[in-house]
Amino acid sequence: MRVVVTGAAGMIGANLLRGLNALGIDDIVAVDDLHDGAKYANLAGASISDYFDRRDFYQRFERGELGRVDVVFHEGACSDTMEHDGRLMLDLNYRASKTLLDACLAQGTRLLYASSAAVYGGADTFREEPAFERPLNVYGYSKLLFDNVVRRILPSADTQIAGFRYFNVYGPHEQHKGRMASVAFHHFEQFRSSGRVRLFGEYGGYGPGEQSRDFVDDVVAVNLWFLAHPEASGVFNVGSGRAQPFNDVAAAVVNAMRAGAGEAPLPLAEIVRAGWIEYIEFPAALVGKYQCFTEADLSRLRGAGCEHAFADVATGVGRYAAARAASTPP
């Protein structure tokens, strides 16, 4: 099997490379933009057969210069939800994706691609239907625009096309993402550097730290399930189906660090009393642009036959924080 992974040096792409390698798949063409050279570390250790810069890949793939490709995992995108350059966002997230889709259809190549829960924006229901798709920023709109193209094409497509609306993903290989790294990553770094985690205070009808998201620890498993089931196509939510407050993430990080020091876990109230969680004023720049609650409706994913269950926050974030503490110097 010959595979392409775009965004291969990103968090999901890097974990996907390793997941494919674990299945014995190493004829992998990695695609990314290594202007930030430090991202090479996410490729190191993975077995790939070739690498292309994203500036060259799309046109060369469209012309058929890569030869036969069985599957493209399209993870490459501008994922900065605070990016306001709409031309850049639509060029990277929509136009490049559309070029890739057209080439895949012409060549009979399966396409598994990253969408985003940002398409729901201000909605309070998270089901893959237009009535609930209300993006709050141009990032969410760029993802929705491509999803809608896929929806129109699916009835006549002869090959698999599957889009994954990722909710709040955390995990290894996200150290390069800066402000767009996961909540779990930032909480870990804050606690290790200052001895406390900072959370937003009261906002949107939610108490301090009680804004809730659907936190997801392993989206690679879902990608690999679809790889093994080429008959499954559509646009799918990928989340745990369980919203949990940011307080839970902070508590999981604090307790993982305490466990590493041989100390017993504490309930949230005691962690707050100890000063290990600090609540800060909600930023004015995010007012009206912030999802206070997300929770994936998994009916369509389950209906396709994918039964992968994600870890809850205490388990998944605790494991992640413990692994970071063991692998990165203080």
139 is catalytic: yes
Q: What is the Cα–Cα distance from 252 to 266, expressed in whole angstroms?
A: 10
Beta strands in the chain (DSSP E): 3-6, 28-32, 50-53, 71-74, 110-116, 161-166, 168-169, 197-200, 212-213, 215-216, 234-238, 244-245, 277-280
Task: Determine the 3-state secondary structure of 140 from DSSP.
Answer: helix
Q: 296 near 166, Cβ under 8 Å? A: no
Could you tell me the end-to-end alpha-carbon distance of the chain, in angstroms, rounded to an integer?
Answer: 41
d(CA 118, CA 114): 12
List the structure tokens of 79. Answer: 């994922």
Q: 68-102 burial by CB neighbour count: b if 16+ within 10 A, else e?
A: ebbbbbbbbbbbbbebeeeeebbebbbebbbebbe
Q: Annotated catalytic residue: which of 51, 98, 177, 279? A: 177
From the list 60, 233, 50, 43, the residue with the least C-alpha distance to 153 is: 233
* Marked catalytic residue, from 58, 113, 120, 139: 139
Task: Give yes or no: 39 in active site.
Answer: no
The DSSP code sequence of 84-105 is: --HHHHIIIIIIHHHHHHHHHH
> What are the beta bridge partners of residue 111?
72, 161
> Under a CB-based contact definition with an 8 Å cutoff, are residues 47 and 28 in contact?
yes
Sign of CA dihedral 96, 137, 223, 316: positive
DSSP output for 9-66: TSHHHHHHHHHHHHTT---EEEEE-TTSGGGHHHHTTS--SEEEEHHHHHHHHHTTTT
What does each C-alpha distance from 112 to 28, 65, 159, 231 come to in angstroms? 15, 20, 11, 12
Report, as residue numbers or ranges, the catalytic residues.
139, 177
